[in-house]
Amino acid sequence: LCFEPKKKKEMSQKKKIALIALVSIVVPLCSAIPPPPPPQWDSSYSGLVLRPSCSLPTELHGRVQAALSTLRTKGCLLRDLVRVRDRDVFTSVSRALLGQPGHTYRYLDTRLFEAKAGSPRCCDPDMRAACQALWALNSFFCTDVPRREPEERLDLFIKAEGVVGKGAEPDGGGTGESKHSDECTVPPQFNVTLLNFMDPAAMRHLKEEPYYGMGKMAVGWHHDENLIAQSPVAVYSYSCHSDAGEDLRGLEVSRWRIGLKVAWDIYTPGLALPLQSGDCYYMRDDLNTTHQHCVLAGDNARFSSTHRVAECSKGTLEYIQSRCTEALANLGVDPESGAHSLRSLLPLTLKHCEDIHNEVEFEWLRQYWFQGQRYTRFCSWWSGPMELLERDWKLMETMVGPLHMAPHMAPHTASHTAPHTPTAPHLQLSCSTGFFKISFIVPFWQRFFLCICPIFLPSF
């Protein structure tokens, strides 16, 4: 997760305290038929609602499950390169993002670009139908999530396997209780859908759940990030046959489960919720903030369609285009010669332009050329806008290029540290500022270094 250094340190300390406390606490799994739920469960998990598969329209099940299978067959679900604990790793889960036009979703220092496979410009009718089916599910969730009654939470206790930690009684003020309201008056507007595919046969070295002994984890404990505060999350779960071709749906198999716990609390009972194919669950109110959840692996392959209200104030194409317009407003063009010049040399103006220049490069161009471009074989919707962003980037490079090579002209602009992003071998961008344009302000030994530097340094 993306936290400030101080926040990371605090989270690390909480984790160490929790792990040390576990040494003296026995946390056995309850039997398959759980005892009556403890009183605090109703308050600790009040934002969790189950939607059994039998309560959804049969026609919707058929469309959604066929859509998920189609997108996987077409190769739309891909593994992402993310940053976890200062390391770049590929996810074991294959993913794709669907959503409103021009939207992106950022998680673990990686920006996912909405796959426009369902747009009219997509030539594949099967993929168009698949995306339309998933958007129909999204519309269903928008109206269904606020209608679920609190009493439906009792169904969870009939199906769930409780994991109870023996220790101090939980403090009512420290259990991270969800602030549940009996009515959700404002329908959620889910703007992105993150599709996941997990096959335990292809996921090696699955880690054991460390706190309650729940079993193997396909996805570790986490909060869903980059969401609007207090917004719900709706998930559709579909278990299917594995890559080996063996259909396990009619056999006695270990089910996929969703684990939930109060964040950094080992005394409040945890919850492991078994899911049948077609089940849905909703995390409402502040449950995603106060609690963590994990995915516990079953025996067969599984799809999930997770519908979210993403915080997109800085994650849309419209936003980054407006930022480019801000920066290029400081670039003047001679009407006769076409030469460029800076309208203002104020340090704050130059720093603002460089911040935008770095944002376009590291948050958009590199992210797209390294990972987002993979979807162009399905639909080229993003190709045109990204070419325009690259053009604007090159114009901004003429504005800030001399300042990087002569930092004493604008000392406030040289302190920016670019955010982490994978280096994209496809992105061949270079500074257009020539050597002789800056020779009058750079000493001879520095000019000599600038001349020989391109010989030894590889292009990025």
Degrees (nearest 5) of the Cα angle 285, 302, 375? 90
Superfamily of domain 316-407: FTO C-terminal domain (1.20.58.1470)
Question: Into which CATH architecture does domain 5-308 fall?
Answer: Sandwich (2.60)
Cβ pair 299, 200 in contact under 8 A = yes
| Calpha distance 442→305 (Å, rounded) | 57
Tokens 């139908």 locate to 129
Question: Could you give the residue ranges of the DSSP H alpha helices within 237-296?
Answer: 287-290
Torsions phi, psi for 148 (to 5 deg) = -65, 130
Token output for 32:
């398959």
Residue among 219, 226, 211 at smallest CA distance from 289: 226
Where are the chain's structural domains?
5-308, 316-407
Q: Which residues contact 280 (CB under 8 A, 6 or more apart)?
A: 50, 51, 53, 56, 141, 234, 235, 236, 237
Specify which residues 163 forms β-bridges with: 29, 270
**5-308 with 316-407: one CATH topology?**
no
Cβ pair 48, 287 in contact under 8 A = yes
Question: Could you give the residue ranges of the DSSP H alpha helices within 94-150?
Answer: 125-144
Q: How many CB atoms lie within 10 A of CB 340?
A: 13
Half-sphere exposure of 88 (CA within 13 A, CB side): 7
- DSSP per residue over 119-134, as a string? STT---HHHHHHHHHH
Question: For the chain, how far is it from start to end, CA to CA, in angstroms?
Answer: 27
The tens place of each residue's pLDDT in the chain, 460 residues long, gives 344 556 666 666 666 666 555 544 444 443 333 445 555 566 788 889 999 999 999 999 999 999 999 999 999 999 999 988 888 889 999 999 998 889 999 999 999 998 865 555 566 788 889 999 999 999 999 999 988 665 555 556 556 665 544 333 434 434 444 444 444 456 789 999 999 999 998 887 899 998 888 999 999 999 999 999 999 999 999 998 755 545 444 455 689 999 999 998 877 888 899 999 999 999 998 999 999 999 999 999 999 999 999 999 999 999 999 999 999 999 998 888 888 889 999 999 999 999 999 999 999 999 999 888 888 877 788 989 999 999 999 999 988 765 555 444 444 443 444 444 544 433 333 333 333 333 333 444 444 444 444 444 443 3
